[in-house]
Structure 1
Amino acid sequence: MTEYVTQPRWIVHLPTTLTGVDGARALAEALRDSLGHVSAIDFGETTLSEEDRQFVRTRVWCDSRLPGGARCTLPTDHPGELCAAGSGSP
C-alpha cells in the first residue's frame, strides 16, 4: 500500500476591530466577493469567533457538496432542501 503524505494546511487568522457577529459576517462576505478568484483561499471553511473565545467558532457558509462538485454558498442556517435542489450554487 502506498502512503500519501499531505502537507498541513495553514490558517490565516485576521483579527478585526468589529464588535458584532453581523459585521464580521458581512466582512467575510465582502472578502469572499472580492477575493473569490484566489484559489489558495478556501472560503467555504470560513468561521468566526470572538477574540477571547477563538476555540468557539461559528461557520459562515453551508459548504455542502452540490451536484457537479460545487459547494453551497448559502448561510449555514438555510433550509436543508435548498442544497438538495442545487439553489445554493454561486
Structure 2
Amino acid sequence: MISVDDARALAEALRDSLRNVSAIDFGETTLSEEDRQFVRTRVWCDRRLPGGARCPLPTDHPGELCAASSGSP
C-alpha cells in the first residue's frame, strides 16, 4: 500500500511534468483509498488567485499565504 505522502509526491511530480498541458486541472486533484473512493482528500488549496490562476500550496496552509502566492504551480 502506498502512503498518503507518497501519493502526494506522485501527484506533485505529475503536476510539475505536465504543467504545460492546459487541459489538465491539477487544482482538482484528490486522494482516496482504493476501497473508500467516496472519501476524498484534496491535495492543493485550489483557491482562485488574481488573474485566474489557482493557489499551488497544500490544502492545509494558512489562508493568508494564498495572497502571497505567485499562483504558478
TM-score, normalised on structure 1?
0.74
Percent of aligned pairs with the same amino acid: 85
Consecutive aligned runs of 4 or more in structure 1 exceeding 6 Å deviation? none
Structure 1 residue runs of 5 or longer lacking an equivalent are 1-17
Contact 1:82 1:88 (8 Å CA) reproduced:
no
Provide the alpha-carbon RMSD of the alignment.
1.2
> What is the number of equivalent residue pairs in this alignment?
72
Listed as ranges, the matches of 1:1-90 within 5 Å are: 18-85=1-68, 87-90=69-72
- Matches of 2:41 and 2:58 in 1, distance apart? 11
CA deviation digits over 1:27-76, x for unaligned, max 9? 00000000111112110000000110100000000010111211100000
Structure showing the higher helix proportion among its residues = 2
Where in structure 2 are there 5+ consecutive unaligned residues? none
Q: Please say which structure displays the higher CA radius of gyration.
A: 1
The 1:84/1:65 distance shift into structure 2, 3 A limit, reads same
* TM-score using structure 2 length: 0.90
